Amino acid sequence: MTDLLSAPLLDTAPIAERLRTALPTDVEYASARLFDERSEHLRVRQNHLEPISNEFDTGVMISIWDGGGLGYAATADLSATGLARAVDRARHWALVTAGHMVGGSNEGAAAIAPPPHHPTGTYNSPVEVSWDSMPLDDRLELLHQQSRLLGVDDRIVDWAAGLTRRSVDTVLVTAGKDGQCGEVQQRFEFVYPGMRATANEGTNTQTRTFGANAFCGQGGAEVLGRFGFGDAASRVADEALELLSAPNCPDGVMDILLAPDQMVLQIHESIGHPLELDRILGDERNYAGTSFVTPDMFGSFRYGSELLNVTFDPTVPGQLASYGFDDDGSPATKQHLIENGVLQRGLGGAVSQQRSGLDGVSNSRAASWNRPPIDRMANLNVEPGDSTVEELIASIDDGVYMHTNNSWSIDDSRNKFQFNCEYGQRIENGEIVGTVRNPGYRGISRNFWTNLTGVADANSFTVMGTPNCGKGELNQMIGTGHASPACKFSDIEVFGGES
């Protein structure tokens, strides 16, 4: 059987040699970054298999630093002629931009210096059970089973279960007139399970999902078991139905307890994005936005209460955005961004660190072969505390336990936010007393995290991800990882839907 999915489209050893041969050695620094992706998308909706989609996406980004300029050229033509054409194009852009790069000056100093080294190394996603050991008909039957469990009531008006598998091989080859060269090879295996059930009565429609796409990660078939995919359908459907008859979430100032699958979003939007150094440097002001964080805050600003500890950690096995090297070739290391509530460092790769003079991390990442790297979150995690979830619930007199994000909005400096969840549980006098629908809350990042009054322990700590973070010009969509326990916040403005 012809199976393009089970192996890289290109043999990485010959292609690495071809890339190295194509790179010029008369410029300060040159790199060729190959991105070779194979993906399979399976979805069963209302017990019918939707068209299977297989995607193969292969190409190279050539980057050339020379004379104070930097040029990129992306091509899917990997022949010697195609690569030579791309090298010429990137070389031309380096010439055109010389002396005009941001942060530099026409008086001389290059704003964006070439990478200081030629990296070497490898990375492989940890895989316990190969995805290919689970035949296609078994994968389809699994989805049919879940679909049948989701569509159990006439009030369930739409439902679906799906699986996406992506395999990505990257090769970064570097060269320069210093005669040095480098080569980094990385192999990633991603699995994205998902399901949803939508219930309706009259003008009330409620949807419950399997973690709103957050239950994903690196690995093989074991990722499904990691999140309990095979056991979730009945609960998802039952909770969608339950929401139909639940009262609206109350309005008022009260405590909230955020489940890990809502913490994903809270961390991402109000810690991750504000700490990106390219935002702080102004690169994103025309599109994704700026940041309320300013360079002088690092090392002293109280971002949150003493309970808040946030790490950048691309070394967590199996998390969505783990890697050995970022796309500029910087080796991945774990760093504390916020320690006991105090801001320590930002999310910026080698280029942003050089431009800002601030400490950063290895997070220069590109969505694919056709986009240049920019500062992105990788794995951004809230470290566990020492309370049980039960203890946090017991400590709340008046509040709501919110699960699974379904709406997010935040201003361009990442300060004023408003988030909604799929499913809420009303807490009164330390006990859960019922379900509420349309739970939402709003706040201001700058002081929201100082209201963090409880962090659950490792028992609720869940390693998840966000598959679709958008940013950049040209626009780029990329996956980020987030892990968190349940967290309690006090004195938060809470609201429900229209009556």
Partner 1 sequence: MSDLTNPGAAAQSTASNDRQSYFDELVTTATTTLQGDEVLLANLAGEATDFIRLNNNDVRQAGSVDQRKLSVDLIEGKRHVGGTINLTGDLSMDDARVTALLGQLRDQRRLVPEDPYLLYNTEPTSTDTVKTGDIPTPDEALADIRSAGDGKDLVGIYASGDTFHGFANSLGQRNWFQSSTFNLDWCFYLEADKAAKNIYAGFDWNDDAFARKVDWSSQQLTALARDPKVLSPGDYRTYLAPRAMEEVMSLLSYYGAFGRRAHETKQTPFLKMLAGDATLSPQVSISENTAGGVAPNFESSGFIRPDAVPLVVAGELSNTLVSPRSAQEYGVPTNGAHGGEYPESMEIAPGTIPTDDVAATLGTGLFVGNLWYTNFSDMSACRTTGMTRFATFWMDDGEIVAPVSVLRFDDTAFNMLGDRLEGLTDDAEVLIDPSTYVERSTASARLPGALLSDMRFVL
Tokens representing 489 are 């916040």
From 309, 379, 476, 484, residue interacting with partner 1 (rule: CB under 8 A): 476
Residues 56-85 that bind partner 1 (CB under 8 A): 56-59, 70-79, 82, 85
Residues 92-121 vs partner 1: string with x where CB under 8 A?
xx-xxx--xxxxx------x----------
Q: Are strands 335-339 and 310-312 parallel, antiparallel or unpaired?
A: antiparallel
Task: Choose one: 186-194, 279-287, 296-304, 426-434; the region binding partner 1 (CB under 8 A).
Answer: 279-287
Show the site string, 195-214: x = touches partner 1 by CB under 8 A, - = not: ---x-x-xxxxxx-------
CA 118 to chain centroid, in Å, comes to 27
Q: What is the 3-state secondary structure (H, E, C) of 320-378?
A: CCCCCECCCCCECCCEEEEECCEECCCECCHHHHHHHCCCCCCCEECCCCCCCCEECCC
Which residues in 431-460 contact partner 1 (CB under 8 A)? Answer: 438, 440, 442, 444
Contact 126/219 with Cβ under 8 angstroms?
Answer: yes
Q: Return the structure tokens found at 186.
A: 């990385």
Q: Tell me how far, at minimum, the Cβ of 71 lies from partner 1, in Å.
A: 6
Q: CB 72 → partner 1: shortest distance, Å?
A: 3
The tokens for 244 are: 């139909």
Do residues 307 and 453 lie in contact, with contact meaning Cβ atoms separated by under 8 Å? yes
Segment (H or E) for 225:
helix 222-226
Pick 60 or 263: Cβ nearer partner 1: 60
Q: CA 336 to CA 339: how far, in whole Å?
A: 6
CB of 123 or CB of 423, closer to partner 1: 423
By the rule CB under 8 A, 349 interacts with partner 1? no
Write down how long the chain is. Answer: 499
Size of the site for partner 1 (CB under 8 A): 92
Tell me which residue of 103, 455, 460, 468 sits closest to 307, measured CA to CA. 455
First to last CA, the chain: 57
Binder to partner 1 among 281, 343, 350, 494 (CB under 8 A)? 281
Pick the binder of partner 1 from 21, 54, 124, 333 (CB under 8 A). Answer: 54
Please give the Cα distance from 483 to 217 (Å, whole number): 11
Min dist. Cβ of residue 360 to partner 1 (A): 17
Stretch in the footprint of partner 1 (CB under 8 A) among 50-58, 311-319, 459-467, 481-489: 50-58
Which member of 213, 266, 330, 420 binds partner 1 (CB under 8 A)? 420
Task: Provide, rounded to whole angstroms, the least separation between the CB of residue 69 and partner 1.
Answer: 8
To partner 1, the closest distance from the beta carbon of 385 in angstroms equals: 29
Minimum CB distance to partner 1 smaller for 177 or for 285: 285
Q: How far is the CB of 282 from partner 1 (least distance, A)?
A: 5
Q: How buried is 302 (Cβ within 10 angstroms: 0-12 exposed, 13-18 middle, 19+ buried)? A: middle
The Cα–Cα gap between 469 and 275 comes to 15
Q: Binding marks (x or -) toward partner 1, 365..404, rule CB under 8 A?
A: -----xxx-x------------------------------
Q: What tokens does 187 get?
A: 């192999």
Show contacts with partner 1 in window 152-171 (CB under 8 A): 157-158
CB 196 within 8 A of CB 160: yes
- With CA atoms as reference, report the closest residue to 89 among 111, 58, 64, 115: 64
Interface map 6-45 toward partner 1 (x if CB under 8 A):
----------------------------------------
Q: Record the tokens describing residue 160, joined without a space.
A: 């679906």
Q: How far is the CB of 475 from partner 1 (least distance, A)?
A: 4
Shortest distance (Å) from residue 172 CB to partner 1: 17
